[in-house]
Structures are given as C-alpha cells and as structure tokens.
Chain A
Amino acid sequence: MLELIILPPIISGILAFLLSKHPRAAELVAVAGASLAAFFALFVTWGFIQEPVPYVESYGLLYLDSISALFTSLTALVSFFVFIYSIGYLRHEVEEKTVDESRLGTYYGLLSFFLAAMLVAPLASNIVVMWAAIEATTLASVFLISFYNTTSSIEAAWKFFIINSVGILLALVGIMFLMYAVLPPDSASWGDWPSLLAPHTGVNLFFMKIAFAFILVGFGTKVGLVPLHVWLPDAHSQAPTPVSALLSGVLLNIAFHGIVRAYQILAPYPELVSFASSLLMVFGMLSLAVGALRLYYQDNLKRMLAYSSVENMGIIVLAFGLGGPIGIFAALFHMVSHSLAKPLAFLSSGVIALAFKTKEIRLISGAAQMVPAVAIPFVFIAVGISGSPPFGTFISEVGILAASLSGGQYLVALLLIIFTTVTFASLLYRASGMCFGKMPEGVEKFKPSLLMVVPFVALLLLAVYFGLMVPEPLIRLISMVVEEVIGG
C-alpha cells in the first residue's frame, strides 16, 4: 500500500515531461498524481491511527510508523492544494508572458518529482535511503527555483544548491558516525530503524554527540536554522509562488524529519538528550531572533514570508529542544499548523502579487478592493503565521510557553514572548498596509481564476478547522509520535 503513495507522483512526473507539447494534459497528470498520493497517504494514516502498529513493506524499502504517518500525510495533503493552485497561477503567468507555455511540462514534471522525493523521505525504511531522498528533494527543486531564468533566481538557485548539498553531505558524515556508534561492529545493516532503535550496550556517547551535532548542522542547513539560513530568503522569494509554498510549508518539515529521527535514536540516553536539547535550543533561539528581527525590514513580500519561515522553524526547533512530552507535542503541533498556514500565506500573497504586478510591499495597497476573497483572509493569515487564533499556531505557541515555564527556562519564555510579539506587530502592520487603504494609480482590474481561489479557500477552511476544533485523530497521531520519539 505504501508504494501507492510514492508511485503516482513519480509516474505523473515522467508523463508530465513527456507531455511538454500538451500543457493542459501535463497539468491534469500532475494534479492526478498529487491527488492519488494525498488520498493514499490519508487512507494509510487513518488506518494507522486505528491500529498503530509500525510495519515494513515493499521489499523492505518502505516503512510506516507514527512519525512517517504524520509527515507523509501532512506533505501530501498540503501539496494537493498547492498543485491545484499552481495550475491557475501558472496559467496567469503564461497570459502575462512571464513564462512560456512550452515550459509547463518541465515545471509539472519537476514539481511531481519534488513531491515524490518529499514523500519517500519519511517513508524510507533505513536512514541512508532517507538521506538520499532528502538529497533528491534538493536536486528536484533547483530548477524550480531558477524557473523564471532571471539573474536573481539563478543565483538563488545556485546558492540553494551548493549550501544545501554541503549541508546534506555533512549530515551524511553524521549518519555514518551514528551508525558506527550505535551498530555492532560486524553488522552489515543498512541502518534501518528497528536495528538503530534497538537497545544497545557499550555505545560510545561522545561519538553519538558528534554524530548528532553533524546531523543537526547538516539537516539544519536545509531547515533554515540560523546561521545556515543564508540561502532561504533568496530561494523562497525567487521561486514561483506555488513552489515557495511547498518549500516553506513542506520541505522544511521534511528536513526537520531527519533531525527528529536522529533525536529519536538518542532519546534513551539522558546525557545525550540534554546535549541535544542545548544545541536545539541555541539554534532555535537564534533562528527565532534573526527571523523576527529581519522580518520588518524586508521590501519584498515573499522575502518577508521567508523570514517568517525561519522564525517558525526556530520556534519548532526550540520547542523540540525544551523537550519533554509537552515541548515535543507543541513542536509537532506548531509544525502542522505552520504547514497549513504558511502555504496559505504564500498562496494569497501570490494572488495579490499577480493582481498588482509587483512583489514590493510599499507598492501594494488596497488589495481588499481588488481581490477581497483573498486579501482579507491574508491579514488574518499573516498574523496567524506569527501565532494568533484562529490558527493552530496560537495553541502551539502557548504550549511552548507552558513547556518553557514549567521547565524553568524563564529567559527562553521571555524571549519567545518578545520575538513573537515583534513578528506579530510587523506582519500585522505590513499586511494591513497592503490590504486596506486606497489602491495605487493605474492598476488594472484583476480577476483571479477559480483554480487559485478554490484551493485557497479550501485550505483556509481546513486550517481554521484544525486550529479551532483540533480534531481528535490529529491529537492522537501527534501523541503517538511524541511517545515514539521519547521512547515509551
């Protein structure tokens, strides 16, 4: 069953490349692949929640446990909405002559491969295949980032490529150290999860510490932790909006998944857990601080959202570092909420940018008059990504605050409050500045296509539902993950 999640995007990717001459067909095929992936992912996850037994499949290559279930279903679900939006967005770009229609096949092919790689990573049965999948996501997204073929986008793509590749290679060094430290000397194991997680005697703790440090720095580069985040604002702002949504909303999670797995392996050893927690908290605080402070000074709408991603991933990592069941639960819940809210932010800002034909914040105002269905929610979403109701980020940030206070980390709590307030204020100011007020001179009427508005509204409703109602299966799934990570 698990291969049914991965195969549709791969096949649709190949088909999309072959169908370059027929862009409509390519669009259809890509969306079909994403929908099938989402359907099967949710189906499998639902089945898993009912019967939480981890299992291995597909000649031992694919594996499902609670962590896999959470990440896979989240990825597939969000991607589904973004793919549909993508059709509308790119059709507008073709109309505006920004993109040539013949390139749509390449675009959808790369997008599908990107999705496939992102789905393989959490479903991989061993650590090396997971690593290779994360590497593959970098390779698949390089040409998506450079899609517009401008100097900035190509430079952003190169920076993305080289920095992330170096990071992932460092993560491989860490993985090898980990395998050396944990596995018995003569085992020819692949580093599959059961053998890595099995209790071991005589583990060299220092090796494990160094291994975790390498993995954190390596995958942390891809998560966008400060000071390794330098590629992120450029890459996320230069890519086409649907790609930015996936990069910010989904890819960062997948990279974080690598760190979660490493943490899971460390969890039985208290000394290592405290070491890992300190590292995670340091990186988390740095990212939170830098993201929050730089956010206000951005002129470009998408760069502002990119820095918000840095900030949010900092919060997630910080919460993970705080540890304990509350901290990790809050971290994962924040991750889920952020993955729903951030793509919403990008989707709406994409519509606004198309309407005003610019991405500069100061040139946009009165969006509520032009595209009310998108702009008015945009204000709420903008503050939602900094942690306000009706989005789930509010609940998770309160949870993180609770975890830090109960853990005695008063400084962390204080800084968290300060920086989230700063972010909240900056985003509210910018978003309302863009949405309300008079429209600038000489802006043409713009009607966004339904293909953009419908997925946006659907995702919005889903996000609000998750944030206000917090459905019970979700809570159950996340609790299972917490148990899995901390180790029963």
Chain B
Amino acid sequence: MAADTTPAFLAFLQIIFIFGFSPFIVGLMRKVKARLQGRSGSPIIQPYLDLAKLLSKGESKSSTTSFIFVIAPIVGFVSVAIASVMLPILSPVSFLAVNIIVFAYLFSIGRFLTALSGLDAGSSFGGLGSSREMLYSVLIEPALFAVVLFLAASGGFNVIAPLASGGMAWEALALSPAHWIAALGLFIIILAETGRLPFDNPATHLELTMVHEAMILENSGPGLAFVEWAHASKIFLLFALIPIIFLPLSSPDPIMRSVFVLGVSLLLAMLTAVVESISVKVRLFKVGELLMLAMLLALLSFLTTLSGTGAGGAPVETALVFVMLLSSLYFVFSATFNRSVELYMIQSACLVIIFALSALSEGAPDLYFRVGTTFILKFLLIPVMLFNLFRVMPGEVKLLPTRFYNVFRATKEDLRLNLDFDPLFTGSYVTPARILAYSGILIVLAFLLSSILGGTTIMLPLVLSLILIGMLIIAVKTNLLLQLLGFLLMENGVVLLPIALPIQLPFVSDAVALFDVVILIIVAMLLALKIRGTVGTLDTKELDELIEKR
C-alpha cells in the first residue's frame, strides 16, 4: 500500500486484518494442542467454518432473557473492533491514540455485558460462570496495573506506544532483562484475561469446570458467532500487544508490520498451546497466587526501569540476578524438598557464572579462587549433602558416599512434606499468595533503600531483595530444612553484596566467611538429623505441639 493511503482506510483495513486472522490464530492453537495430544485434530480453518455455520443458523433464546441478552454480543463485538484500531499495527502511530487503560477497559465492557447476559438467561450455570469470570477480572486488575506502571515508567503511558519511543534500540531491548520479566508477567496476564489454561479450560465440556464458557452456554446462532469472534479477536489483539510493546518496528510499511505482528502472534499462539498442554487447571484459590506472581514480575520490572538503569550496567549479571530472584520467589511454591534444593542449585549456578564473569573481567587470582570455591561448595558439596541427608542411618554421623546417579535422588518417604492438612499452604504458615505479597513489599523496600543510598548499580536493590526474601522464607516456612534453605538463599544474596556495592573483600576474608557457612550447614544438618531422630518430625507446627508445657 502506498504511504498516501488515508488513515481512515488503513484503520478499517486494520479491523479487517484483526477480525480476519483471529479465527486462524484460534484454529492454530487448537491444532497444536491436538497434535501435542497425539490427535490429528480439526483443520486450522475450522473456526471459520464454525462461524459461518453459526451465522447461518437461527437463534433460540430463553424466555427469561431481556434486551441485555440481545445487545451483549453486539456490544462486545463492537468494543473489540474499536479496541483493534488502537494498536499501532499497520502504522507506527495508532489511529486512535488513547492510553492503555481505555484499551483494557473496552474489553471489560464486553465482559461486563456478557456476564450480565449469562445471568439473564436464568440458568444456574450462567450465574456460576459469570461470578467466576468477574472474580478473575478482579484478580487480574492489580497485575494489569503493575504492567501499566511499568509502561508508564518506560515512557509509554499515554499512548500505547512502543517502548522504542523511549529511545531504546532493538538490541538494547532484547538484552534488557527487566523487559523480558515484564513480558513474562504480561504473558501470564494475557493467559488469564483470555481464559486459557492454567486459568480456564476453553475446551472443557463439563459445566462445573467452566468459567468463560459457562457464561455463554445459552448463546446460539449469530449471537454466539459474534461472541466467539470477538473473543478470538481479543486473543489476537492481546497477543499483538507483546510485539508492539517489546519488539517494535520503526518501519512505516503496513505490509511488513502486519506480517511481523501476525508472525509473532502465531508464535505466541503456539507457545500458548504448548503451555496449555503442559499445565493443569489450577484451583480457584491458586489463581490469585499465579496472578500475584505476574504482578510481582511486572512490579520488579517497573522498579528496575524506574531506577533508571534498566538496560544499562552489566546486562548478563543483572539477568542472572533476576533469575536468582525468580528462583527465590518460586521457592514459595515449592512443596518438596528436592525441588527446593534444585532451586538452590540454580541459584548457585548463577552465582558461579557471575563470579566467573567478574573474574574474567578483572583477572585477579583471588577472584578465580572465589569462583572455584563457590562452584565446589555451593553447586556440588552442599546440594549433595542435602539430597543425601536422609540416607544417613539415624544415630550415626557418617555420610555414606553415593554413586553419581544416586546423587539426585533421595528416599521419597523421608522427604515428602506433610501437606495432608494444609494443601493450600505448601508447608508455610501463610498462603503462598500472601507470601508473594510480602515479598512485593520487601522488594519495594529494597528499591527504596537503594534509591536513598544512591550512586550504585542496579544490582544493589536486587541483591537486597534477595536477602530480604530469604529472611521472609525463613519466617514463613514450617519445615526446618526449608528454613535452612531460606537461610542459604539469604546467604547467596549477602555473598553478592561485595559485587553490588562494590568493595574489595580480600580472598582470605572471603574464604573465612565461606568456610564458616559450610560448617554452619553441617551443624544445621546434624541438628536436623538429631531432631528427626529424637522427635520424629521436622515440622515446626508439630514440634510446637510436642513441646512440654513450660
């Protein structure tokens, strides 16, 4: 298309583009899911055929419905159409330049009316679906606003402008860990907003497990067609949000832009299909936890961008510290001891790489020493000791040497945490959602402290967050060994502090501190063994019950 095509025409073309390709996206998702399940599945163009069929059929309405039932599909369709001109897909500047809140709430109008129409038909399943859907939308909002905060900090609040308008080049964006974390958070939110697994199963036929589908059970014929089409287009639009924000193109050529957006959306569709295939639908109570995690991720990127050095500094080291922070946060969810130790190994690996990078850049011999000791102690020795803790005979102190293939397996019986009475709590005193909320507060505190202290790299607030979250884990976990692992996570953060500050700690004091920690681990494990041998449990709740009255 020539560049002198009027914007109105391009806008209309964009609507057709979105609505034209959205059934294809849905079809592709279904096809990939089917293939992963070993079926051949319906053809990719099946959604088009379904739409055609629905449009040609008659509509049957329950006698209790009112005008809401009639207008809901139409308003939903129209609101998505309006939203679809707001994104700068075919042109670098969007046709309807409004801020992202308007964009998000256009979808809410459709959802609101659909929820009402679900109640309108007078069936209990409709009401069930509506209430669940509204609950989800309430839970999604804080996470969404965290992403909005992030966009605002990156300079793109008033208009859904690509982050490139903040002056960052493609490569810098690609390397910036803060943006990837925000993209991850946004992806989780999109999964929730569009009703895909693990939040909602779009393919379920069991009404009691439905969330979105239950609302539209009573719709039929053209009404259903509009609802389905609008939903598919919503999915396409939300997928398109990611390339527009995070991978912006500056070229004004509509064809190239549309192809790019479509291509990335198709990739995201396939990724979604894969994620759906490996996820289970989470319990209603856990939806909040997942969205809380998304909110924390967006909050983290927001804080990082706000402190001004989001993409600057040492990107690889920063990315590694982000990975460490994420593994600390994921620790909250880990329900088995083995998983927790594996998380610790991930952290140790990141630590070794960070130290290696700094050793390579500075070349001082004591830094290489530090790399070596960290690798041997934290990546090999301590995880091996932890994994094999319960192979020790009760009463004896000898740690049996094991063959390598046994290293990563320990007696399941001994290491299973007792979750029978608190499946929501995954071995903690409070629910994971609340722990994540506290973590968010601690992260904000860490950034606040660092900004007041000033003059340091982005690593300092992240390292402080690591330390504080380690303390939080010690405080909330009930199992003694998980408390010990929380301590180790905290210690990882402290070990990074000399790099974050940066100060030179000569290697002797490094070695002294490290040696101290190893002895600490051994003492802790011996004490844990003693507790287990004498009292029979490692859970502090049970310990409290067993203690004699003072």
8 contacts between A and B (CB under 8 A): A128-B505, A154-B527, A155-B543, A158-B480, A165-B487, A166-B471, A176-B501, A176-B503
Interface size class on chain B is 35 or more
Known: A139-B519, A151-B548, A158-B527. A179 touches B503 (CB 8 A): yes
**Given A152, A188, A210, which contacts B504 in the complex, CB threshold below 8 Å?**
A188
Q: Which of B72-80, B86-94, B529-537 contacts A (4 or more CB under 8 A)?
A: B529-537
Query: Judging by beta carbons under 8 Å apart, are A151 and B494 in contact?
Result: no
Q: Which of B211-219, B325-333, B411-419, B506-514 contacts A (4 or more CB under 8 A)?
A: B506-514
User: Quick one: which of A13-29 are within 8 Å of B by CB?
Assistant: none
Q: Sort A-B residue pairs by CB-CB distance and give the 7 closest, nearest first.
A: A128-B509, A180-B501, A188-B504, A180-B503, A132-B512, A139-B523, A176-B497
CB of A443 closer than 8 Å to a CB of B: no
Residues on the B chain within 8 Å of A210, using CB: 449, 453
Query: A64: shortest Cβ distance to chain B, in Å?
Result: 20
User: Quick one: which of B515-529 are within 8 Å of A by CB?
Assistant: 516, 519-520, 523-524, 526-527
Query: B455: shortest Cβ distance to chain A, in Å?
Result: 8
Most buried by A among B490, B503, B547: B503
Interface 0/1 of B436-460, CB less than 8 Å to A: 0000000000000100110000000
Query: Judging by beta carbons under 8 Å apart, are B535 and A154 in contact?
Result: yes
- Bound CA–CA A152/B547 (angstroms): 6
Query: B435: shortest Cβ distance to chain A, in Å?
Result: 17
Q: Which of A141-149, A309-317, A413-421 contacts B (4 or more CB under 8 A)?
A: A141-149
Residues on the B chain within 8 Å of A166, using CB: 471, 474, 487, 490
Query: Judging by beta carbons under 8 Å apart, are A162 and B474 in contact?
Result: yes
User: Quick one: which of A253-301 are within 8 Å of B by CB?
Assistant: 299-300
User: Quick one: which of A131-145 are within 8 Å of B by CB?
Assistant: 131-132, 135-136, 139, 142-143
- Bound CA–CA A136/B517 (angstroms): 10
Residues on the B chain within 8 Å of A154, using CB: 527, 530-531, 534-535
**Given A146, A180, A204, A299, which contacts B527 in the complex, CB threshold below 8 Å?**
A146
Query: Judging by beta carbons under 8 Å apart, are A152 and B550 in contact?
Result: yes
Query: Judging by beta carbons under 8 Å apart, are A173 and B494 in contact?
Result: yes
**Footprint of B on A, CB under 8 Å?**
126, 128-129, 131-132, 135-136, 139, 142-143, 146, 149-152, 154-155, 157-158, 161-162, 165-166, 169-170, 172-173, 176-177, 179-180, 183, 186-191, 204, 206-207, 210, 299-300, 303
Residues on the B chain within 8 Å of A190, using CB: 506, 508-509
Query: Judging by beta carbons under 8 Å apart, are A158 and B531 in contact?
Result: yes
Query: Judging by beta carbons under 8 Å apart, are B504 and A173 in contact?
Result: no
CB of B208 closer than 8 Å to a CB of A: no
Query: Judging by beta carbons under 8 Å apart, are A128 and B512 in contact?
Result: yes
**Given B503, B513, B524, B526, which contacts A132 in the complex, CB threshold below 8 Å?**
B513
**Given B474, B523, B535, which contacts A142 in the complex, CB threshold below 8 Å?**
B523
Query: Judging by beta carbons under 8 Å apart, are B513 and A128 in contact?
Result: yes
Residues on the B chain within 8 Å of A131, using CB: 513
Query: A275: shortest Cβ distance to chain B, in Å?
Result: 14
- Bound CA–CA A187/B505 (angstroms): 9
Known: A139-B520, A173-B497, A176-B503. A149 touches B509 (CB 8 A): no
Residues on the A chain within 8 Å of B527, using CB: 142-143, 146, 154, 157-158, 161
CB of B498 closer than 8 Å to a CB of A: yes
Query: Judging by beta carbons under 8 Å apart, are A129 and B547 in contact?
Result: no
Query: Judging by beta carbons under 8 Å apart, are B513 and A151 in contact?
Result: no
Query: Judging by beta carbons under 8 Å apart, are B548 and A126 in contact?
Result: no
- Bound CA–CA A188/B523 (angstroms): 32
CB of B292 closer than 8 Å to a CB of A: no
Given A161-B523, A188-B504, A207-B453, 10 more A-B residue pairs with CB atoms under 8 Å apart are: A131-B513, A135-B516, A142-B523, A146-B527, A155-B531, A158-B527, A166-B490, A169-B490, A179-B503, A204-B453
Which A residue sits closest to B548, measured CB to CB?
A152
Query: A264: shortest Cβ distance to chain B, in Å?
Result: 20
Known: A139-B520, A158-B527, A162-B474. A176 touches B548 (CB 8 A): no
Which A residue sits closest to B538, measured CB to CB?
A158
Which A residue sits closest to B501, measured CB to CB?
A180
Which A residue sits closest to B523, measured CB to CB?
A139
Query: Judging by beta carbons under 8 Å apart, are B520 and A165 in contact?
Result: yes
Query: B546: shortest Cβ distance to chain A, in Å?
Result: 5
- Bound CA–CA A172/B470 (angstroms): 15
**Given A158, A180, A300, which contacts B550 in the complex, CB threshold below 8 Å?**
A300
Residues on the A chain within 8 Å of B99, using CB: none
Which A residue sits closest to B449, measured CB to CB?
A210
Query: B47: shortest Cβ distance to chain A, in Å?
Result: 56
Query: B101: shortest Cβ distance to chain A, in Å?
Result: 37
Which B residue sits closest to A156, measured CB to CB?
B547
Query: Judging by beta carbons under 8 Å apart, are A151 and B490 in contact?
Result: no
**Given B453, B467, B474, B547, which contacts A173 in the complex, CB threshold below 8 Å?**
B467
**Given B471, B503, B547, which contacts A151 in the complex, CB threshold below 8 Å?**
B547
Query: Judging by beta carbons under 8 Å apart, are B524 and A161 in contact?
Result: yes
Residues on the B chain within 8 Å of A135, using CB: 516, 520
CB of B483 closer than 8 Å to a CB of A: yes
- Bound CA–CA A128/B505 (angstroms): 9
Query: Judging by beta carbons under 8 Å apart, are B523 and A151 in contact?
Result: no
Query: Judging by beta carbons under 8 Å apart, are A151 and B530 in contact?
Result: no
